[in-house]
Structure 1
Amino acid sequence: MKVKVKQSPPNPNATAQSLTSQESRLLVRETLRISANLATNAGVTSSSGSSMNDGAAIPLMDENRRMGLVGEEFVESSLKLICCEEIDGRRWKYMAEKDPFGNLKNNSIRALSSHTPQAPVDELMSFVRSYVVPEGFPDSVTPSYVPYMTWRALKHFFGGAMGVFTTQTLLSSVGVSRNRATPGAVAINWILKDGAGRVGKMLFARQGKKFDYDLKQLRFAGDLLMELGAGVELATAAVPHLFLPMACAANVVKNVAAVTSTSTRTPIYKAFAKGENIGDVTAKGECVGNIADLLGTGLSIMISKRNPSLITTFALLSCGYVFSSYQEVRSVVLHTLNRARFSVAVDSFLKTGQVPSLQEGNLQENIFSFPWLKDRPVVLGSRFKDAFQDPSPYLAIEPLFEKERYLVTYNPSKGKVYALLKDQAKSDDIIKAAFHAHVLLHFIHSSNNGQYSSRSQQEHDHSNLMPSTTDFAAHIADSCKMVSTSYGIFKSKAAEQGWRMSESLLNPGRARLY
């Protein structure tokens, strides 16, 4: 069956049907341009108000042309700028498409990038920054963040380099490289070594409260222990038959150091965070340490192939590690007052009438005043038997502290000032007792140097600074008068400098009077 198709007269659409796709797009764009021009011309002749509106649209069209992302006629006729956006230094413009009558189409918003492409170096730096600095840096952290992370990276660099040599030495000593032991014996020795380290970590964890009191001192002491453990591990090369006891001792020391480092890490990162971004600060800080550790490990692997002297290598790497650790803890700026920073603040106040700033107080803090040292001139929360050997000094000064929740005295035989706390003592009472103890110590030093009073200079001898009960009580009474007038001033000046006086980290003893 044959079907005849009726011939229709030629029309313009037949020609359009034979156009290619490219020609179709050009035709559509030209049609849109003509329609937009006609609409614009009609608006110009209609009223002067419409002319003003079109005049206001000209800068917008010019702005779209400057984007250079689409054709000029197409932007002018079919796109309208909705808003602009910036994210991480990149700028975007959101455009909406118009129909031939100038109305905005639905679901026609498109995002157009208006920034110039970054150079490869800038792209690399942006990538690195996303791993090593918190989001919003530098506004999201304190100024001390950069020096701390710099020294922390150096410390981990030296630590990673040291780890290669210690591991190589341990494997050599245990017999892996020299075939002096069976694989089973090697595994047992290694397991015992690690087990001893875990036991040491658990035993030392009970000292956790001290990590809050003397954070910097314990952090630095932990790094010293880490180097001591590394030195013991390297020493196993000289006496391989003593591998097990020496390796166990070294691992105990290094695990104690690891507990110290882990426990003091969070308070330090907390001091850097300006907002609720401590998680971000912690993550980036650990990333910095890991990157530096890997770099140190890679460099050490290349150096170890040349078989350098272990003694020379250990000396150089240890010096770099310890120096970086010292500078690392010194760069931390804490807002709380522990014993070392409190002593700096009170001494400055008594001498100059001013409390040092956070930066000055932290820089002047003695990092080597470790908590286990017993040569501190002020003992806070001491026992009664340590402060008094005779009843007369106590009976003479006890009425002076009747309204206080503490008692301060001086023991000339031990050369120390003792602050005894009563059972009702709170945080502010502990701070006031410590302040009073430093005031009394200041009086004693002034008297000893002939700066406090001529009478004190005449009565001074090397064996007993305050030989009589009368003079002893007089010095205590004078210190009470000064504390009553100056303690409030000290607190207000400390608060002005940013010190947190409400938190007592002075590590007082547990003894209380009742």
Structure 2
Amino acid sequence: MTEALVLVERDDTGRVSRIPIAPGVGRSSTGGIKALPSSRSPRSSYAALTGLGSIRHIFYDLFLPAGYPASVSPDYLQYQTYNALQAFCSSVSGLLASRGALEGVGVGNASASATQALLLTVLKDVFSRVTTIIAAYYCGTSLYPETKTFRFLADVVNDASIVLDTLIPYIGAINLSETIPFVPTGATLQIVALCMSGALRSLCGLVAGGSKAALTNHFASPLTGKGDVGELNAKDASRETVIGLSGMLLGTLLIPYINTRASTYIMLFVLVGGHLLFNYLAVRSVVLRTLNRQRTSILWTDYRKSPEVSKRRALSPSEVASRELIFETPMYMRDCNTGQIIGRCTLGAPLQTLMPLCTTEHIAAALQVFQKEKYVLFLADRKRWQSRGPTIFVCFKDGYRPIDQLRAWVHSMEVAAVLNDPHAAKDPATTYQVVHQAMALMREAMDGFVTCLVQAGWDTADDSMMFGSPTSLILGTDKDLQDAEINDQEVKKDR
């Protein structure tokens, strides 16, 4: 007699089921073999019997990505826990803000008209849309590499708009124009506050959307394999819907009892404080594996501190995450062993903006030194240096690669470390000798540095590695371009 075959299956929640298949038993009309009712392990059977297993299964199916935890990065659950708490606080405080905004457009005021409320809404919407356009122009290329900064900044801006909305009803009672000349009336201040609130909220939406896209790509990149970005977004939307609805329901129970100025601001203080705290904890829990300027500074400073090349290693992403600052000016180069700022560096600077800042000798020397590189490092005139080190601009050439961004930043840090010395040479020729020496050191150490980064788990192949895409690229001199054009024409004629 043939023994029964038992298949073991695991679903996307990790639940294991055993499916026995017995020959000759339960045959279908076509003569195939039917599977008997599945049998689970004793542990899963007990959980199903008590109802805990089915509840957990439903929870996983509804709110967690398929294949969790293998399909997401290790920091996913901790971030989403804090993110859920901050979203709950934001949902409740948003009701207070909505009440203030409605009072600002005339709800509850017998002298207000529907036309007036409509015009105020249109004016607020105009400011919101203009802010979106301006913010996208200035922040677009920084949203991906500076994800943590903008993620937290979005919530700070959102809380500012909430506080402003709750102040709108009380701003209308202010009337200092009778005693102080040229001071706007309370109604005018209300309109200004309403427009500012709309602008801040649109700024929050733009910044939060860009940073969320970067975080989604990160969470959908487990240590091995690749997750489903679309499914991850869908489950995030499900969680946010439930959390937002819960906060709205709780808020509707509390709002009728929060009708005085003192109670409003006590509740607002608690909610905004909790919102910012949970957001900070959420951002701190994220362990990004992509490089930006601050993380590269931490990695390079730690890598260079060991004099023996054989003993050098790169910090892991979790070690760097514990040391990086949430709010850090990206262009600052910092010696992360001492915390001292050693200079400023602007990556991807347009060449036209450098002409008033750099002397002719500096520009000529830089073009000569960087003939074989895909970037050019320019030093601003020493009179324009800050007290904390040199000011450096980096322009990229056509055909640069992501690794050239890393090389340019490391090169700039080595130059700044030497020139930050107040006794450093002031002569342009001698200064560019320092640049040339730093280039030789960077070339010698770069291969080993990149190898250690890959071994530590860093992603060095990301297209927007350091700062995004530069707005301008150097194509060469007019003579070089003309010669290239003539050569192309001659090749076409030969063909």
Cα 1:278–1:98 shift into 2, 3 Å = closer
What does residue 261 of structure 1 align with? 208
The equivalences for 1:239-388 within 5 A come to 239-240=171-172, 241=187, 242-273=189-220, 274=222, 275-307=226-258, 309-352=263-306, 353-370=312-329, 377-382=344-349, 383=351, 384-385=354-355, 388=358
Question: Distance between the aligned counterparts of 2:409 and 2:87, measured in 1?
Answer: 38
SS at match of 1:421: strand
What does residue 472 of structure 2 align with? 510
Q: What is the letter of the counterpart of residue 261 of structure 1?
A: A
Deviation track 1:139-171 (CA, whole Å, cap 9, x = no partner) reads: 111111011101211210111011111112222
2:160 aligned to 214, 228, 243, which one? 228
Question: Once structures 1 and 2 are overlaid, which stretch shifts more, 368-377 or 239-248?
Answer: 368-377
* 8 Å contact from structure 1 (residues 406, 425) kept in 2: no
**Which consecutive unaligned segments of at least 5 residues does structure 1 have?**
1-52, 61-80, 449-459
Q: CA deviation at 1:257?
A: 0.9
Q: What is the letter of the counterpart of residue 326 of structure 2?
A: I
SS at match of 2:121: helix
Deviation track 1:290-332 (CA, whole Å, cap 9, x = no partner) reads: 3222333333333323226222222222222222222222322
Q: What is the letter of the counterpart of residue 311 of structure 1?
A: Y
Cα 1:306–1:399 shift into 2, 3 Å = same
Question: Distance between the aligned counterparts of 1:103 and 1:406, measured in 2?
Answer: 71
Larger radius of gyration: 1
Question: Once structures 1 and 2 are overlaid, which stretch shifts more, 325-334 or 144-153?
Answer: 325-334
Q: CA deviation at 1:192?
A: 4.1
Question: Distance between the aligned counterparts of 1:300 and 1:229, measured in 2?
Answer: 18
Q: CA deviation at 1:182?
A: 3.2
Structure 1 position 438 matched with structure 2 position 413: yes
* 8 Å contact from structure 1 (residues 393, 472) kept in 2: no
Q: CA deviation at 1:284?
A: 1.7
Cα 1:170–1:381 shift into 2, 3 Å = closer
SS at match of 2:457: coil
Cα 1:254–1:434 shift into 2, 3 Å = same
**Which consecutive unaligned segments of at least 5 residues does structure 2 have?**
173-186, 307-311, 334-340, 478-495
Question: Distance between the aligned counterparts of 2:318 and 2:77, measured in 1?
Answer: 14
Tell me the number of residue pairs that the alignment of Structure 1 and Structure 2 aligns: 418
Cα 1:191–1:111 shift into 2, 3 Å = farther
Q: What is the letter of the counterpart of residue 323 of structure 2?
A: Q
Q: CA deviation at 1:387?
A: 5.3
The equivalences for 1:82-481 within 5 A come to 83-88=6-11, 89=15, 90-95=17-22, 106=31, 109=34, 111-115=36-40, 116=45, 117-206=48-137, 207-240=139-172, 241=187, 242-273=189-220, 274=222, 275-307=226-258, 309-352=263-306, 353-370=312-329, 377-382=344-349, 383=351, 384-385=354-355, 388-389=358-359, 391-394=360-363, 399-408=368-377, 410-411=379-380, 412-413=382-383, 414=385, 415-421=389-395, 423-424=397-398, 426-427=400-401, 428-445=403-420, 447=421, 460=423, 465-469=424-428, 471-481=430-440
Q: CA deviation at 1:373?
A: 8.8
With structure 1 as the length reference, what TM-score do the two structures score? Answer: 0.72
Question: Once structures 1 and 2 are overlaid, which stretch shifts more, 141-150 or 475-484?
Answer: 475-484
Q: CA deviation at 1:346?
A: 1.7
1:498 aligned to 444, 454, 457, which one? 457
Q: CA deviation at 1:254?
A: 0.3
Cα 1:325–1:91 shift into 2, 3 Å = same
With structure 2 as the length reference, what TM-score do the two structures score? Answer: 0.74
The equivalences for 1:63-74 within 5 A come to none
Aligned-pair Cα RMSD in Å:
3.3
* 8 Å contact from structure 1 (residues 408, 417) kept in 2: no
Question: Distance between the aligned counterparts of 1:432 and 1:499, measured in 2?
Answer: 16
Question: Distance between the aligned counterparts of 1:104 and 1:238, measured in 2?
Answer: 79
SS at match of 1:404: coil
Cα 1:149–1:103 shift into 2, 3 Å = closer
Q: What is the letter of the counterpart of residue 298 of structure 1?
A: L
Cα 1:189–1:373 shift into 2, 3 Å = farther
Cα 1:325–1:423 shift into 2, 3 Å = same
* 8 Å contact from structure 1 (residues 98, 105) kept in 2: no
Question: Distance between the aligned counterparts of 1:372 and 1:439, measured in 2?
Answer: 15
Cα 1:95–1:105 shift into 2, 3 Å = farther
Q: What is the letter of the counterpart of residue 250 of structure 1?
A: S
